[in-house]
Amino acid sequence: MELIDKANVLADYWMDYRNDPAWANFMAYNDLGLPLAAGIADGFIYELTEAGESMVDETFTLFCKHLGIDNPSDDESLEDFLVRLP
């Protein structure tokens, strides 16, 4: 998946679940990656440094693990990924 696709997924989940107790540890740990993703998704951030991209990628990987999704495919589209979410 492209960085923008990962950012869109993360930003949506952050907005919808940031106050959900089941996600509290995830939200606390990813307190930088989630706002970066939202900034990308909302068009406020146009490019990131390598470290910033790495942070969003790590947040997305942890997000997948939290949902029990192993090894999301790099060539998977956003729509394909969203269908797999619970």
The domain locations on the chain are 3-84
**Site of tokens 């390598």:** 50
| Stated pTM of the model | 0.84
**79 versus 14: which is more confidently predicted?**
14
Nearest to 6 by CA among 25, 29, 26, 34: 34
- Contact in structure between 76 and 5 (CB atoms under 8 Å): no
With beta carbons less than 8 A apart as the criterion, state whether 35 and 7 touch: no
At 86, the pLDDT band (50, 70, 90 cuts) reads low
The amino acid sitting at 19 is: N
Say which residues have a Cβ less than 8 Å from residue 80's Cβ, sequence separation at least 6.
Answer: 73
